[in-house]
Amino acid sequence: MTARSDVPSSASTAAHAPSGAAGVAALVCRLLLGGLFVVSGLAKLTDPQLFAHAIKAFKILPDHLIVLSTFAVPWTELVIALFLILGWWTRAAGWLALLVLAAFTVGIASVLARGIHAECACFGAIKLLCTGPMGVCHLVRNAILMALAVCVGRMGGGSFGLDCCCRRD
Amino acid sequence: MKPQGTLVRVLALAGIGIVAGAVHSAFVPVTLRLSENGTDAPTPLGPDDHAAPRPGPAPDAPRPSDGTISPSSRSGSPFITSAQAKELIDAGETLIDARTIEQYREGHIDGAFHLSSADFSGGRTPELLRFFAKDQPLVIYCDGADCDASENLAIFLKQSGYRDLRVVKEGFPGLVALGLPVAKGDPS
């Protein structure tokens, strides 16, 4: 009996999934990014009023989109986190994390360019690395997280994710 | 995995998040604006509401002592001009700086307390509120026309039961322009 040509063999899956030190690095990257997105999503959902005001401070979206974003952003973060931690659809979750982070970064840069003083509710009331109003620190932090997301998007879930077990991605 | 397949998965994950958020938003209300009559508004104010604030109750109006709120303050707009704010401040009403703590340290209207929306995070009640009666006028300012911090704080205070809230639309620059003294340093 021969294997179907559209189902990857164990050898080809192993070739795509990082193993050894690279597999451990992929695991660390996705768990770190997934953990941060869990914290970020839960913190925002715990305090939707505060996050809504934070989005309002960007002065980019109309009110009805602010209300939708208040809940859609943290839920998207939690979905990303779940898939990253499980290592399932890891590349897709990594690239979506990059898109979300890029959107935040553009928003923060826009606020800075317009000289608006606003607090960052990026992690709800938790101040991760950066304190005070939105500034260059927040841009640098996001750049680091975006680099992490690129790593996850390129490496995938590694040897320890469901992607590897399911022979997908 | 082909790039198209990854793109489909990215869209699928984003779709799950957006649908979950849309459903959640239908059950949990958030308030973005104070309405002109001082109540939380489910719909946004129009541009004219900010451009032409209506006068609030007379600053020297007697404050009700029985815990009720006067009809004038109940129906008055929460948005006041710097001149109206100055009259209230001169009459000894409580002034709150809703800007960031860094801005407060750099300079605030003398006698202003510092309080911001972040102080309400996680459902907390700021310690400072123990000193404010629910029916006393609270005059709130931030950076001015482009700043939402004072209105945001007023929404949290309204949800905490405070009924007589005045938001100074011209904010700190407007009050300074009227000659109110500026102090520096941490909140006392």
- A9: in domain: no
- Is A116 in Cβ contact with B146 (below 8 Å)? yes
- B188: in domain: no
- A73: in domain: yes
Write the DSSP symbol of residue A55.
Answer: H
- Note whether B123 and B44 are same-domain residues: yes
B7: containing domain: 1-30
Q: Measured between CB atoms, does A99 come within 8 Å of chain B?
A: yes
- A3: in domain: no
* pLDDT at site B92: 92
- A13: in domain: no
Chain B interface, best mutation among A13, A42, A49, A152, by max B CB count within 10 A = A49
CATH code where residue B95 lies: 3.40.250.10
Q: What is the mean pLDDT of chain B?
A: 79
* pLDDT at site B37: 57
Cα angle B9, B11, B16; round to 5: 95
Flag whether pLDDT at B159 surpasses 70.
yes
Report d(CA A79, CA A105) in Å as an integer. 20
Q: Per-residue pLDDT averaged across A70-94, rounded?
A: 96
Spell out which chain B residues touch chain A, with contact meaning CB-CB distance below 8 angstroms.
1, 6, 9-10, 12-14, 16-18, 20-22, 24-25, 28, 30-33, 43-44, 99-103, 116-118, 120-123, 143, 146-149, 152, 155-156, 159
The DSSP line for A26-38 is: HHHHHHHHHHHHH
- A8: in domain: no
Cα angle B159, A107, A109; round to 5: 125
Flag whether pLDDT at B66 surpasses 60.
no
- Note whether B105 and B47 are same-domain residues: yes
Number of domains chain B contains: 2
The DSSP line for chain B is: --HHHHHHHHHHHHHHHHHHHHHHHHHS----EE-TTSSEESSPPPHHHHHSPPP-S-TTSPPPSSS---HHHHHS-SEE-HHHHHHHHHTT-EEEE-S-HHHHHH-EETT-EE--GGGGGGG---GGGGGS-TTS-EEEE-SSTT--HHHHHHHHHHHTT---EEEETTHHHHHHHTT--EE-SS--
A113: containing domain: 18-166
- Is B1 in Cβ contact with A91 (below 8 Å)? yes
Based on the number of CB atoms within 10 Å of its own CB, is B102 exposed (0-12), middle (13-18) or buried (19 or more)? exposed
Per-residue pLDDT tens digits for A93-104: 999 999 999 999
User: Residue B135 contacts by C-beta under 8 Å, 6 or more apart in sequence?
Assistant: B63, B64, B67, B68, B69, B163, B164
Q: Measured between CB atoms, does A55 come within 8 Å of chain B?
A: no
From chain A, pick out residues whose CB is under 8 angstroms from the CB of B28: 48, 71
Report d(CA B43, CA B113) in Å as an integer. 30
- A50: in domain: yes
Max alpha carbon distance in chain A (Å)? 68
Per-residue pLDDT tens digits for A139-157: 999 999 999 999 999 988 7
From chain A, pick out residues whose CB is under 8 angstroms from the CB of B20: 71-72, 75, 79
* pLDDT at site B145: 74
Q: Closest by alpha carbon to B140, among B171, B100, B167?
A: B167
Number of domains chain A contains: 1
* pLDDT at site B100: 86
Report the first-to-last Cα separation within chain A, whole angstroms: 25
- Note whether B6 and B41 are same-domain residues: no
Shortest distance, CA A74 to any CA of chain B (angstroms): 8
- Note whether B9 and B93 are same-domain residues: no
- A49: in domain: yes
ipTM for the assembly = 0.83
Q: Measured between CB atoms, does A80 come within 8 Å of chain B?
A: yes
- Note whether B18 and B79 are same-domain residues: no
- Note whether B173 and B107 are same-domain residues: yes
Cβ proximity of B13 and A91 under 8 Å: no
Write the DSSP symbol of residue A9.
Answer: P
From chain A, pick out residues whose CB is under 8 angstroms from the CB of B148: 53, 56-57
List, in sequence order, every residue forming a beta bridge with B80; answer none if it has no partner: B168
Nearest to B25 among A71, A118, A125 (CB): A71
- Alpha helices, DSSP H only, in chain A? 10-16, 20-46, 48-58, 63-86, 90-113, 136-155, 162-166
Per-residue pLDDT tens digits for A8-34: 444 444 445 676 777 888 899 999 999
